[in-house]
Chain A
């Protein structure tokens, strides 16, 4: 068997060919691959398969092949699907702009030396630790039209006319849930950005200062490029989390009022497990999968090309 021998600082090390390395690693990978395949890949593929059938979910009721009928119904007859798709896309766009921007600003602010810095970091991060369903319950009370904090506070400062049924009015409901998601999610992205900021080379920053670069110029020319790997992670996680938002919507509105806050992940679940239309649920899940891949793969490809430059 051909091997390559390297001599490094007086020590001899053999470089094993890639195919040999794989065969040695395989025994360790197999259990994980089997579990991953069975519990993650197979259900995903099975959901896609199910989207071509009509099935009530009863084992006694054999799934009936309907081809692309579920997709045709989804796109032409489902009164909720387009609302769910629009809300999911809006949620992604807003998530990429608002909480990500706030998280970056917080990270930049809390990366400076200041009194109580660690306490502030903890305070902003704590909501990320809470289960989403707990956050939903808390914010449902905050938005309660009669007893809730928001309307009470508005009344307290003489703005009682601004009081609304925040979760009961289709004009405000989705935005109201989104505010809760910002509160919960911004801390996680902030921590990632804080970690990324530790990798910004101090010597580069010092050199920029010596060269007379302004704060904005240092941020744009030094900080932003150094944060690129972190930004890639934050953006991808944000997109994925935004597309699969579920718990907050279930806990705060259940998709209402009148399905106005419905999103793709919840509509897939509702079609399958509430409406017992597993084919339709599978079709929505497949659309969600395609949308996710359509957003994430091009971004990853772009960021990898940027990385290689």
Chain B
């Protein structure tokens, strides 16, 4: 055997030995459990908090956590693609609404956590409002992560300039305030129409206002007939009126981010936003003391909002470890690390309000005053296809291409044909 050939055989043997050693090392490393968690793409401050939460938990438990982030649409697509396979995550973040998280519950992707709720005493940990989204499908699907309230942020100085002294407590008072702002040459409220869901918040709130809680629930989440309820026409009529008189010029042609600049720069007096807006108000240079918040005065005492949760994949091989991780995330220790990066209030009822932003305390009062529960954004209530049609009809009314009197019937016709 010549020298070169000998060296080659030795090198091959060494490579094979290295590969085998690598395999053995992998097996040793696999003693600890690996959990994969799928999220939507996080803001930098949220990403830092995620890293801190993972690091704190990995120190406590013999578990390696791998976090994967995707954009909103990619996250939804990825969940569809892994349904029924074993290639999905152990834990996934999702919205609780029936058209989103509920869809995954329906196809069996969410593990019913009833036993873990008993084991960890989670029923006593979370606020009743945040648990409502978890128990709505029967059993316990998911662990609450945020409960987002939505209401009207207003510029106190612009209200004062327009002579609006009292915070509107009824819908008529809200319209009066908007009229006063128009008279003072101030844009009453800003919306960005290109994203559809921004203006949808106004329509959802008008449906709640005009129809009342029970009928609104039947329409949004039940078998209510959009074509048969006169209140639906009233809601779309009011929507058209707001579009004509009170919204920023050209709102249909700009995004929510562009529209928000009108509020941040003092060119619009109100903005219909959620608890996540507290941080944005500060980040965009507004003194939170100059900003007030009040719920959209629907007259039903229900707060507009939605919940987000962490779910355990029904296909996971590690349900116990996944539940233990979620227990840490929502514990007092975990919630202190999370801070108010995802919402103004913690879903854990024992965690005090983060006072670093004074608007968080305002939300605490708003939540406390909303005894009648919540009504949810319709893009979470409806299937995604229904949502697309809802937005088309909403925008057609706003552009004047559809008579408000025909809007409800048109939406109902779509639901009947595609139900």
Contact = CB atoms under 8 A, between A and B. Distances in A.
B392 A79 contact: yes
A63 interface: no
Contacts of A170: 399, 401
B352 interface: no
A60 B107 contact: yes
Interface stretch (A34-42, A160-168, A215-223): A160-168
B252 interface: yes
A144 B395 contact: no
Contact of B392 (A146, A253, A259): A259
B163 interface: no
Contacts of B385: 271, 275-277
Contacts of A173: 253
A173 B253 CA distance: 9
A274 B391 CA distance: 13
Nearest to A172: B253
B388 interface: yes
A275 B392 contact: no
Contacts of B107: 58, 60-61
B193 interface: yes
A168 B401 contact: no
A260 B109 CA distance: 37
Highest count of chain B CB atoms <10 Å: which of A170, A256, A258, A270: A258
A172 to B, nearest CB: 9
Interface string B15-28: 00000000000000
A145 B250 contact: yes
Interface in A266-282: 270-271, 273-277
B283 interface: no
B396 interface: yes
B108 interface: yes
B384 interface: yes
Interface stretch (B76-84, B234-242, B335-343, B353-361): B76-84
A273 B81 CA distance: 12
B156 to A, nearest CB: 23
A80 B77 CA distance: 23
B193 A168 contact: yes
Contacts of B252: 165, 167-169, 256-257
A156 B138 CA distance: 62
A273 B73 contact: yes
A77 interface: yes
A contact residues, range: 35 or more
A117 B129 CA distance: 69
B330 interface: no
Contact of B395 (A258, A274, A275): A258
Given A256-B193, A257-B193, A275 B254 contact: no
A270 B194 CA distance: 15
A100 B346 CA distance: 59
Contact of A276 (B108, B251, B384, B396): B384
Interface in B29-54: none
A53 B395 CA distance: 30
Interface string A53-66: 00011111100000
Contacts of B83: 58-61
Given A144-B254, A259-B392, A275-B385, A59 B249 contact: no
A57 B385 CA distance: 13
A79 B193 contact: no
Contacts of A253: 194, 253
A165 B253 contact: yes
Interface string B63-104: 000000000010001001111110000000000000000000
Contact of A146 (B84, B250, B384): B250
A191 to B, nearest CB: 33
Nearest to B79: A58
Contacts of A209: none
Contacts of A59: 80-85
B173 interface: no
B401 A145 contact: no
B333 interface: no
A58 B395 CA distance: 30
A77 B395 contact: no
Contact of B84 (A58, A276, A277): A58
A111 to B, nearest CB: 39
A80 B391 CA distance: 12
Nearest to B259: A146
Contacts of B410: 79
A216 to B, nearest CB: 43
Nearest to A79: B392
B314 to A, nearest CB: 10
Interface string A268-303: 001101111100000000000000000000000000
Contact of B77 (A73, A143, A169, A273): A273
B244 interface: no
Interface string B393-419: 101101101100000001000100110
Interface string B367-385: 0000000000000000111
A253 B250 CA distance: 13
Contacts of A56: 80
Across chains A and B, which 3 residue pairs bring their CB atoms closest together, nearest first?
A145-B250, A168-B253, A168-B252
23 contacts: A57-B77, A58-B84, A59-B81, A59-B82, A59-B84, A60-B84, A60-B109, A61-B107, A79-B414, A145-B250, A146-B250, A165-B251, A165-B253, A167-B194, A169-B399, A170-B399, A254-B195, A259-B395, A270-B388, A271-B385, A274-B384, A276-B80, A276-B385
Interface of B: 73, 77, 80-85, 107-109, 193-196, 248-254, 258, 262, 383-385, 388-389, 391-393, 395-396, 398-399, 401-402, 410, 414, 417-418
Interface of A: 56-61, 73, 77, 79-80, 143-146, 164-170, 173, 253-254, 256-260, 270-271, 273-277
